[in-house]
């Protein structure tokens, strides 16, 4: 990702990610939990990659699935077909992942609260050292 940022001379980057959610489960179906765990791992990987970027101010925001659908289609329960219909990908049936691209376009229309991603520990502030947990940001006035 650093090469991509450098090659395009990106100095500011806003990233909006869909929040993970747990679908209702029926019976012994655990796919919802597995999906939630996978989504949370993906967000962790994205945040780690953003955290490691240098020479680029990064801000991160999250949006819920229903909010993105509501803003994009005016229907918080929009189906994949409806999302594609409202997207730029509607005229491209040859694109196999257009449902995902339509979701991404919908998420991109949202403007959530953005939080800075500090990519350098010194940006966080003073550090403290504790024998039990090591070195970290200042906490409760301890340095």
Spatial separation of the C-alpha atoms in residues 62 and 60, rounded to whole Å: 7
**What integer pLDDT is reported at residue 98 of this predicted model?**
92
Residues present in the chain in total: 143
Domain layout of the chain by residue ranges: 1-63+113-143, 69-106
Residue 43: per-residue pLDDT: 84
| Contact indicator for 91, 2 with CB cutoff of 8 Å | no
Q: What is the pLDDT of residues 103-114, one digit of tens each?
A: 999 998 999 999
Per-residue pLDDT of the chain (143 residues; tens, 9 = 90+): 899 899 999 999 999 988 877 666 565 556 667 777 888 888 888 888 888 898 899 998 989 889 999 999 999 999 999 999 999 999 999 999 999 999 999 998 999 999 898 754 444 455 555 566 655 555 555 54
- pLDDT of 122: 44
Number of H helices, E strands in the chain: 6, 5
Asked if residues 18 and 62 have their Cβ atoms less than 8 Å apart, the reply is yes
Q: Which residues pair with 14 in a beta bridge?
A: 59
Work out the angle at residue 80's Cα, subtended by the Cα atoms of residues 75 and 81, and round it to the nearest 5 degrees: 90
């Amino acid at each position: 990702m650093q090469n991509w940022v450098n090659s395009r001379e990106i100095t500011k980057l806003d990233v909006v990610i869909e929040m993970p959610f747990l679908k209702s489960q029926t019976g012994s179906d655990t796919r919802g939990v597995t999906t939630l765990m996978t989504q949370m791992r993906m967000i962790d990987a994205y945040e780690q990659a953003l955290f490691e970027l240098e020479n680029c101010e990064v801000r991160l925001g999250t949006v819920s699935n229903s909010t993105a659908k509501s803003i994009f289609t005016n229907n918080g329960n929009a189906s994949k077909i409806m999302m594609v219909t409202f997207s730029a990908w509607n005229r491209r049936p040859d694109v196999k992942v257009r449902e995902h691209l339509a979701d991404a376009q919908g998420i991109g229309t949202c403007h959530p609260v953005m939080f800075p991603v500090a990519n350098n520990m010194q940006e966080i502030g003073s550090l403290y050292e504790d024998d039990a947990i090591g070195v970290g940001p200042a906490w409760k006035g301890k340095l």
